Amino acid sequence: MNSGPDMGRTHARMLRVSTLALLLEAGVALAVLMTVGLSMEPEPGDDTAGGALVLLALPFVAVFGVLVAFAVSAVLILPVVLLGEDLGRKSGRDPLWWQLALAGLAGALLAPLAGVRGWIVGWTVLAVAVLLTRPARQGYFVSLLLWGTLAVVSVFMVGGIVLYAQG
């Protein structure tokens, strides 16, 4: 009997880690899209005064984003990780390749909506979340949070430097 805390990987830890991974990916995507959007000249006659409203609405959108990331984690990421491990165990191969293939199949759900580019983006997002979810043990969430936040801040800084260099 083990009376101490569970140090291994649990479904709850995997769900928290995969949700965090999706949120960190969204932060990187937001930084890239903001940099690209700010680097372009607005068309003549475009109303650019809505930027402050976007900043005010961002916390409410973030709450919705957390709920969506949690749902995607529960419906797509966890089944891909667990099914990939089962298939890898049964076939005697590394489960990583099964998980990447299953992430590609799950990413194909975006193909009817966004075409081939949507499938590639979906595959990439799910594959990164699956790869980050695999080693979800005790203490992994905090290190992923710290290093992931550093990555998001770094992308914002590089974007700011690029915008500053453009003039």
Query: DSSP string spanning 107-144?
Result: HGGGHHHHHHHHHHHHHHHHHHHHHHHTT--TTHHHHH
Q: Is residue 17 part of a domain?
A: yes
Its pTM stands at: 0.84
Q: Is residue 141 part of a domain?
A: yes
Confidence bin at 148 (pLDDT 50/70/90): very high
Instruction: Calculate mean pLDDT across residues 134-158.
Output: 90
The pLDDT of residue 33: 85
Domain of 121 in residue numbering reads as: 12-31+62-166
Number of domains within the chain: 1
Q: Is residue 50 part of a domain?
A: no
63 has a pLDDT exceeding 70: yes
Q: Is residue 132 part of a domain?
A: yes
Q: For residues 99 and 131, what is the distance between their CA atoms, to the nearest angstrom?
A: 8
Q: Is residue 113 part of a domain?
A: yes
Instruction: Calculate mean pLDDT across residues 21-25.
Output: 94
Ramachandran angles phi, psi of 93, nearest 5°: -110, 175
Q: Is residue 3 part of a domain?
A: no
User: Do the beta carbons of residue 99 and residue 53 sit within 8 Å?
Assistant: no
Q: Is residue 43 part of a domain?
A: no
Q: For residues 67 and 88, what is the distance between their CA atoms, to the nearest angstrom?
A: 31
pLDDT per residue as tens digits for the range 26-47: 999 988 888 887 777 767 666 6
Instruction: Calculate mean pLDDT across residues 70-94.
Output: 93
